[in-house]
Amino acid sequence: MSYEERPDRALRFGDVVEGFVLSASRIDDPPMRLAESGRYQIEVERPRYCAVMTPCCSLRSGCVAMSPLQEVLSTFFENPCFEQDLTRINRLVRPQDALPPERWRRVSPEEQQRRLEIGPAYTLQNYFIFAPHDLLPPYTVSRRDGKTVKTNAYMVDFHRIHRVQCKKVTRPEEEALLATKVLQLSVEARSELRDKLTWFFGRIPDEDDV
């Protein structure tokens, strides 16, 4: 089960919420100097749904991190492993399942063996899939092979996490916050989100792996 049938009476990490505005700065020519005017933009979006990305125990600071729920990519359906269940992207997968079969066959035998020795690993590293639910509106994905898929699975991209200031967040059980809550992840799904998010930000680059 991906979602709780009886959500908590408080905002939680991984909750799907609605009614928030997100913003991000855009600077195409850094660095900006204090003494110079510099050109920048503040990009604002109002997604229908967001996911709470702040840990439950930190939801009393007056701000909350959120990531917009986005439609999944059509390329996900090119891999039979993920086509059967998109939430497999959230978990460790075998090397031979991380790629479509034809792409795996093009990998050199030496590289295949190297990956097999490493074992199961995360793939599509910056994405986390929110499973289909009747409360999430369905949409149609156009595949490169000309087929279409109707789904109401969504995803968050760890590259797109925004800070939202909100004085109501000092009390996660505030009624105004509860009015924004649409879905709550199950304990298992929330653990998967925490694990993949932790791994994403905790990866050690090759040059530091000494």
Note the pLDDT of residue 209: 62
Q: Give dist(CA 10, CA 7) in Å, integer.
A: 8
Which pLDDT tens digit goes with each residue over 110-141?
999 999 999 999 999 999 999 999 999 999 99
Q: Is 151 helix (H, G, I), strand (E, B) or coil?
A: strand
What does the pLDDT average to over 2-11?
93
Residue 49 pLDDT more than 70?
yes
Cα 84-201-189 angle, rounded to 5 deg: 40
What does the pLDDT average to over 3-19?
94
Looking at every residue in the chain, the average pLDDT score rounds to: 92
- Tokens 């959500």, located at residue: 7
Which pLDDT tens digit goes with each residue over 56-107?
888 888 899 999 999 999 999 999 999 999 999 999 999 999 999 999 999 9
Note the pLDDT of residue 27: 86
Tokens of 3: 């979602």
Other CB atoms within a 10 A radius of the CB of residue 153 amount to 23
Sequence ranges of the domains in the chain: 16-29+40-200
What does the pLDDT average to over 136-151?
94
Tokens of 97: 């399942």
Task: Using only the alpha carbons of the chain, give its radius of gyration.
Answer: 20
- Sign of torsion over alpha carbons 204, 51, 191, 119: negative
Query: What percent of the chain is modeled with pLDDT above 70?
Result: 96
Residue 170 pLDDT more than 80?
yes
Model pTM score: 0.92
Tokens of 89: 């992207």
How far, rounded to the nearest angstrom, does the alpha carbon of residue 24 sit from its chain's CA centroid? 17
Phi (first) and psi of residue 166, to 5 degrees: -160, 115
- Sign of torsion over alpha carbons 68, 121, 77, 102: positive
pLDDT tier, 36 (very low <50, low <70, confident <90, very high otherwise): low
- Tokens 């793939």, located at residue: 123
CB distance 20 to 187 below 8 Å: no
Residue 14 pLDDT more than 80?
yes
